[in-house]
Amino acid sequence: MHTFIGFYQDIGAALSLLVLLTFLLAGAVKGVIGLGLPTVAMGLLGLGLPPAQAAALLIVPSTVTNLWQLAFGGHLRTLLRRLGSLLAMIFLGTCLGSLWLGIDSGPWAAHALGGALVVYALYGLAGPQLRVAPRHERWLGPLCGLVTGVVTAATGVFVMPAVPYLQSLGLSRDEMVQALGLSFTVSTLALAVGLAGQDALGGQALGASLLMLLPALLGMFAGQWLRQRISPTLFKRCFFVGLGLLGLHLLLNG
């Protein structure tokens, strides 16, 4: 039992409450728009925890919710064939990036996290709707995967540039939801390998992450309920504005 609660005893009641509320909110965001759990979690937890600790906490909730997301849709085999090189390079890039940079490699890590959040927020608010011709997927997919992996290793955020790339492929809604789940699952598992290689993912960290699965799932179910009652466009706009402000704070103050 100490393995599960020792982390929260160490960080104290205030930070433990921050962690709990963060995963409730992050799960709700994912329930509404289909993504955002690790992004929101890393951004908010970065206010009070080192990036490596924050990343370790999201491993179990992110893995389970993303596996859930990719399990439905009926396009898994087709997507694996089409996105195989992207996924392979995400994994390789994350592992190599962990050796080269590492999410716990210095005080700049929080600034890098903030920068990644700002870039993603700006893209979400004003980014152009790109279209990638099928003939370019062979080289652009692996390149985006490699860059995404390095960004993941440095910040714990694995949306850039993988999400814009996936959005540019002209996938159907169901394919897109499943492709995001597939990409995020590979990124999360690769991040776990990188953290383990830095001795940042021991038994206590995994136990603490497992405890956050319940609030993340509760938040996701609440978000799915909320999705039927609010405008997704308005919610996305508010989400990206808030994410941008949070990233700007981390970028400037670390």
Q: What is the domain partition of the chain in residue ranges?
A: 2-253
Q: Residues 19, 23, 25, 30: what is their CA dihedral angle, to the nearest 10 degrees?
A: 160
pLDDT tens readout for residues 172-218: 888 888 998 899 999 999 999 988 888 878 888 888 899 999 999 99
How does residue 66 score in pLDDT terms, banded at 50, 70 and 90?
A: confident
150-162: average pLDDT: 88
41-49: average pLDDT: 86
Residue identified by tokens 């597939």 is 182
Q: What is the pTM of this model?
A: 0.86
Q: Tell which wins on pLDDT, 243 or 81.
A: 81
Chain-wide mean pLDDT for the chain?
86
43-49: average pLDDT: 85
| Predicted local confidence at residue 107, as pLDDT | 63
| Predicted local confidence at residue 104, as pLDDT | 59
How does residue 43 score in pLDDT terms, banded at 50, 70 and 90?
A: confident
| Residue 208 backbone phi and psi in degrees, to 5 | -65, -40
Q: Which helix (H) or strand (E) holds 207?
A: helix 203-211
121-141: average pLDDT: 88
| Structure-block tokens of residue 124 | 């979400």
| pLDDT at residue 98 tops 90 | no
9-29: average pLDDT: 87
